[in-house]
Amino acid sequence: MSATPHRPETLLVTLTGQDRPGVTATLFGAMVGSGVEVLDIEQIILRQRLILGVLLTTPGGPGDPAATDDLVATLERVAAELGMSIEVQRGTGDNFTRGEGRSHVTLIGQPLAASAMAAVAGRIAEIGGNIDRIERMARYPVTAIDLHVSGADPDDLRARLAPTAAENGVDLAVQPASLLRRGMRLIVMDVDSTLIQGEVIEMLAAHAGVEPQVAEITERAMRGELDFEASLRERVRMLAGLPASVLDEVYDQIVVTPGARTMVRTLRRLGYRFAIVSGGFSQITDRLAADLGIHFARANELEIVDGVITGAIVGEVVDRAGKARALREFAEAVGVSQAATVAIGDGANDLDMLNAAGLGIAYNARPVVQAAADTAVNVPYLDTIVYLLGISREEVEAADAEAGIVTPAPPI
């Protein structure tokens, strides 16, 4: 019979109070010479208030309670000198065992109400999950919180939490905790109403005097009510006769979604690759890719003859299946697995691409897309995506500051 593993006697020391430089050094300095080992440590700071937890072995071993008493008295004296509160709990074991299944649950709100936090935390507990750690990823212009959850299957967690998030008006993403979250990934984005605001084909239609008709067909196609290829060809026919110079005018009118440049700039620093896959037109998307520093682009090509848009498309249409195919081809070109891809889109023609990706994000999307995607983001800032990848706003701003990019001061 094998012997039962020895469970060391431990002290859990919790120090709270006003933070200032040197607190951690002073506390550990008081332990020098006591012979204790540090088993675990956590520290957080909220509004300059420190909460520091340290798990230690007892000094002198189980047969020397006097040594433990002396250390506790020393720590209490140090805390008093620092003007802080201290609590010491005695026990055995180095740490609790986390349950199977580990996930990152990211909550995004504008604002993030206490009722939403209560609802999500309650649902996690109901299905047997435990929140091991909570980190703030951003406090403006949205509030983003990352919950480290154990004891629940990530797929089950996602299915159970999604309705709760929707009912409480917050966005929520569940991702398995793995090295993949820290690795280089490929980000594949839709263009119209995702990377940019509005629809290019409607902007072109405005020059042809048929914007209302085109906009109606576009909306129905994005909701999944019409075959995408047939609807695209119908809309493009309405553009016949427009001078090709209109494309330059439309490009100059494009408004890039807030946060898009920040997202691309930040993730490129980490070695990420980017692609745009659009049911729009390469005459626009190729220029957009070059402007934003995007590595790959695929879209439909408008036929232009003698400087005039003919109303036809050259070659195969980039439809719903074509977008998913492009994602797989770009992933192979970059050398990453499909599991290491992130797809972002808003329309029904993005659904296959979102399902093919390791993480599919419905961005301000139609209901049919939000229902099918891994997660939905409904705030008007595309750089919110970086919080889902474990990158905080503070880290983004620090990197920008090093590059000489000034970030507007946050609200008080």
Residue 283 three-state SS:
helix
Which entry of 19, 146, 171, 190 is annotated as an active-site residue? 190
Selection from 182, 185, 119, 106 nearest residue 147 by Cα: 106
Residue 134 sits at φ, ψ, to 5 deg, of -130, 130
Inform me whether the pLDDT recorded for 2 exceeds 90: no
For residues 209 and 211, give the distance between their C-alpha atoms in angstroms, rounded to a whole number: 6
Say what the pLDDT of residue 63 is: 62
Using only the alpha carbons of the chain, give its radius of gyration. Answer: 27
For the entire predicted model, the pTM comes to: 0.83
The pLDDT tens digits for 32-65 are 988 889 998 888 888 889 999 999 998 876 667 8
**Domains present along the chain, CATH in parentheses:** 9-92 (3.30.70.260), 102-177 (3.30.70.260), 186-380 (3.40.50.1000)
244-268 pLDDT per residue, tens? 999 999 999 999 999 999 999 999 9
> CB of 311 within 8 A of CB of 304?
no
Residue ranges in 127-190 assigned as alpha helix (H)? 154-167
- Check: CB of residue 138 under 8 Å from CB of residue 144: yes
CA 385 from centre of chain = 4
383 assigned to active site: no
Tens of pLDDT, residue by residue over 164-222, are: 999 999 999 999 888 777 777 999 999 999 999 999 999 999 999 999 999 999 999 99
C-alpha 369/C-alpha 66 separation (Å) is 65
Q: How far apart are CA 273 and CA 277, in angstroms?
A: 13
Percent of all residues in the chain with a pLDDT value above 70, rounded to a whole number? 94
Measure the CA–CA gap between 8 and 38, rounded to whole angstroms.
Answer: 12
Contact between 214 and 302 (Cβ < 8 Å): no
Give the integer Cα–Cα distance in Å for 233 and 302. 10
Residue 46: per-residue pLDDT: 81
Residue 291 bears catalytic tag: no
| Identified catalytic residue from 19, 171, 192, 319 | 192
